Structure 1
């Protein structure tokens, strides 16, 4: 595989993981039910843990430990050999497993287009629609402030 092909595959995988991480477990499960899930095994059973969140004052200051967040993670291997990893904020082990399964399927030449069309694309559309709805709702409450100059003086 060429470097360009590898980079585009990584970009596709990164975009898919962003959509899956921001989607609900029920929505992912609903879309996964529409496709024939290939044979797979759990490399790492879903588990919960903590990660340290780092922050910076003003975005460019010295980094500091902000606090901890709960995460769930899982790893899955398809029968064809592709390995997928799933991480999500919170204590949702099944969501982490479904993300790992989708990650492995995105890497597979046999399942990539199907998981993109039937799982990732509908979730992306729903996510963008929700984002636009919230932006319109926020814009409706926006107040423009201006300063009037008095004519005295």
Structure 2
């Protein structure tokens, strides 16, 4: 993988999407995600934390995963975008994951999240101290949810 943003269609380098992620985090969580002004290329290719987002569908699908998240989950951009986000957790872990997402939908965000996830190869890993928040557009409507975590380890 190169250090450049994904060249194809999608949200990897979309400044409008980046603004939605960063401004939603600041508004909903109450602290900045990254120092201003955010840089889409840095966030995608070089950020030292995993950042993912899924849409607001009934069976949410990933719409964004930076390179750190791609490495954790062992998917490239083309394989992770469009993947149902529930598949990031094994079946026994999905109920806990859904409770977290329901709490985020109700409360706007959750911090300190810890849970087991599964990579494409079947490798299980712990997410430590994650933050999950609602992606809120300026009009207040919800575009989905995003998650960020800077610590993980094999389970």
What TM-score comes out, normalization by structure 2 length? 0.22
More helix by share: 1
Query: Which of the pair has more CA radius of gyration?
Result: 1
